[in-house]
């Protein structure tokens, strides 16, 4: 039986090879996975043209996935440097990489990225359009914008961020409800500017069906972008954000009618006490579609440490039901991240994702921690390093400070509680 997308296959009762791979990774029944995909509660972003991909599922009951942002800009346009970051990100087993390139040889970088990446690849076509056509934003035509989307789909991009929710109604709500930081989404600001400069409706809203046809042809998942995400905690959960979310819920149903898989993008900066309510609201308004968040960053006063503020919000969000976390690095709000920044961002976001998985009782999540606890009780340092989410740093710390007592560390020595309890339980003298 033929099918166009993973959702189409699921609704026809077909188990695809991608479903089989994801079910095995997640240790769930493949028939349950198929049902969740048919309902839109799980997506498997896997473009038919992305041959190197190792598919992942995003959504209800699955492990929280993480995304890494990469790409070339006018100020930092070294393709080889970005590809080095790609290699490291894949080595660190990230599930997704977004190419946010907006200058220069974007097509060259995108194709190299897709060819080598086992992770799913996402893009924001509006970023590429401005540089690709070398035109002022105002002069980009609807057909030119759609052509860029089609090119990304043909190249093998697995999901595209499209800011379709900021239509003229949403823009009117934004204008009536003043913010501290206006619109901080790069793609959202470009679309808003295009609308204002041309006096027209958002082309990604007006021609949404044409975009869906492109996505269905290549099985591209559409990630409905949050143009009105809050850029500071003062703007979170405001009228603009909620109005756009309502529009995204309507667009989700339209996408599902054409068997196009959907993810919903979310905030942003947000007070920690608002996160759980926002997750519930997204799941209600967007019919259980997978939720993909940047952060939430829970305080605005920690530049240089936003991988930490992001991880705090990400853990709370994941525990509340968020399915996909976008990483943030220490360089957030400051500059393009380098390789070391990227590594710190990945580790922090992986910690958040795993903490969230424990909170929402994902199968197998707690067992990892239990194994680490066993290794610590046994003072099996090598096993601890093997189980560590990122082993290089703990190995280095251990090597840099050698204890007198081999099985202890230099903080406690023979006063180590674990060592002494083991000895007492075995009937030994603790000071031996």
Residue ranges and CATH numbers for the domains of the chain are 45-359 (3.20.20.540), 367-400 (no CATH), 402-432 (no CATH)
Give CA separation, 203 vs 31, 128, 197, 198, 265, in Å.
38, 16, 13, 11, 19
pLDDT of 33:
98
Q: In the 8-state DSSP scheme, what is residue 297?
A: B
pLDDT of 383:
97
Confidence of residue 104 (pLDDT cuts 50, 70, 90): confident
pLDDT of 248:
98
287 annotated among ligand-binding-site residues: no
pLDDT of 295:
86
pLDDT of 279:
98
75 annotated among ligand-binding-site residues: no
Burial of residue 13 (number of CB atoms within 10 Å: 0-12, 13-18, 19+): exposed
Q: Can you tell me the mean pLDDT for 295-304?
A: 96
195 annotated among ligand-binding-site residues: no
CA atoms of 307 and 212, how far apart (whole Å):
34
Please state, rounded to an integer, the average pLDDT across all residues of the chain: 95
pLDDT at 73 over 80: no
226 annotated among ligand-binding-site residues: yes
Q: Can you tell me the mean pLDDT for 136-158?
A: 96
pLDDT at 71 over 90: no
Q: Which residue has the higher pLDDT, 431 or 35?
A: 35
416 annotated among ligand-binding-site residues: yes
227 annotated among ligand-binding-site residues: yes
Tens of pLDDT, residue by residue over 196-246, are 999 999 999 999 999 999 999 999 999 999 999 999 999 999 999 999 999
Tens of pLDDT, residue by residue over 345-370, are 999 999 999 999 999 999 999 999 99
Tens of pLDDT, residue by residue over 32-48, are 999 999 999 999 999 99
Q: Label the pairing between strands 262-266 and 221-224.
A: parallel
- What share of the chain has pLDDT > 70, as a percent? 99
Confidence of residue 135 (pLDDT cuts 50, 70, 90): confident
How far does Cα 120 stand from its chain's mean position? 11
pLDDT at 105 over 80: no
417 annotated among ligand-binding-site residues: no
> Could you tell me the pTM of the whole model?
0.95
182 annotated among ligand-binding-site residues: no
Q: Can you tell me the mean pLDDT for 407-427?
A: 91
pLDDT of 151:
97
CA atoms of 355 and 319, how far apart (whole Å):
7
127 annotated among ligand-binding-site residues: yes
pLDDT at 119 over 90: yes
pLDDT of 101:
87
Tens of pLDDT, residue by residue over 165-175, are 999 999 999 99
Q: What angle do CA 102, 104, 106 make, to 5 degrees?
A: 65
pLDDT of 77:
72
Q: Where are the beta strands (DSSP E) in 339-422?
A: none
Q: Can you tell me the mean pLDDT for 190-194?
A: 97
3-state secondary structure of 258: coil
Q: Label the pairing between strands 58-59 and 42-43.
A: antiparallel
3-state secondary structure of 263: strand
152 annotated among ligand-binding-site residues: no
CA atoms of 271 and 235, how far apart (whole Å):
10
Contact 315, 355 (CB under 8 A): yes
Q: Name every residue whose Cβ is closer than 8 Å to that of residue 236 and which is 6 or more positions away in sequence.
A: 230, 267, 268, 269, 270, 271, 274, 278, 296
76 annotated among ligand-binding-site residues: no
pLDDT of 21:
98
- What share of the chain has pLDDT > 90, as a percent? 89
Q: Can you tell me the mean pLDDT for 44-58?
A: 98
pLDDT at 75 over 80: no
pLDDT at 19 over 80: yes
Confidence of residue 103 (pLDDT cuts 50, 70, 90): confident
**Paired residues of 227 in beta bridges:** none
Q: Can you tell me the mean pLDDT for 302-321?
A: 98
- DSSP assignments along 129-143, one per residue: HHHHHT--GGG--HH
187 annotated among ligand-binding-site residues: yes
């Amino acid at each position: 039986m033929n099918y166009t997308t993973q959702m189409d296959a699921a609704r026809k009762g077909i188990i695809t090879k991608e479903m089989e791979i994801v079910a095995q990774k997640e240790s769930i029944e493949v028939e349950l996975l198929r049902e969740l995909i048919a309902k839109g509660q799980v997506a498997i972003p896997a473009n038919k043209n992305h041959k190197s991909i190792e598919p992942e599922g995003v959504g209800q009951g699955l492990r929280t996935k993480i995304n890494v942002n990469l790409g070339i800009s006018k100020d930092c346009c070294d393709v080889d440097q970005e590809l080095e970051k790609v290699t490291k990100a894949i080595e660190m087993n990230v599930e997704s990489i977004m190419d946010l390139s907006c200058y220069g040889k974007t097509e060259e970088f995108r194709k190299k990225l897709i060819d080598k990446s086992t992770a799913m690849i996402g893009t924001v076509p509006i970023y590429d359009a401005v540089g690709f056509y070398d035109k002022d934003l105002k002069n980009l035509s609807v057909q030119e914008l759609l052509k860029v989307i089609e090119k990304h789909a043909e190249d093998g991009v697995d999901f595209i961020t499209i800011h379709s929710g900021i239509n003229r109604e949403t823009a009117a709500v934004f204008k009536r409800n003043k913010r501290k930081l206006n619109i901080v989404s790069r793609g959202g600001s470009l679309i808003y500017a295009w609308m204002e400069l041309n006096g027209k409706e958002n082309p990604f809203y007006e021609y949404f069906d044409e975009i869906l046809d492109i996505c269905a042809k290549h099985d591209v998942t559409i990630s409905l972008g949050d143009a009105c995400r809050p850029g500071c905690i003062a703007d979170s959960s405001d009228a603009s954000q909620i109005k756009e979310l309502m529009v995204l819920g309507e667009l989700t149903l339209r996408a599902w009618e054409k068997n196009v898989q959907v993810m919903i993008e979310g905030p942003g900066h947000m007070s920690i006490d608002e996160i759980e309510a926002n997750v519930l609201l997204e799941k209600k308004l967007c019919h259980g579609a997978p939720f993909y968040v940047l952060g939430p960053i829970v305080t605005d006063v920690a530049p240089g440490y936003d991988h930490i503020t992001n991880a705090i919000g990400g853990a709370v969000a994941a525990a509340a039901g968020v399915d996909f976390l976008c990483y943030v690095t220490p360089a957030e709000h400051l500059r393009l991240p380098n390789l070391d920044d990227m590594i710190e961002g990945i580790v922090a976001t992986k910690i958040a994702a795993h903490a969230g998985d424990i909170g929402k009782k994902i199968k197998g999540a707690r067992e990892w921690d239990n194994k680490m606890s066993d290794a610590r009780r046994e003072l099996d340092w090598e096993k601890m390093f093997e189980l560590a989410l990122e082993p290089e740093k703990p190995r280095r710390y251990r090597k840099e400070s050698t204890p007198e007592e081999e099985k202890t560390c230099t903080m406690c020595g023979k006063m180590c509680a674990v060592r002494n309890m083991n000895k007492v339980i075995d009937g030994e003298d603790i000071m031996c």
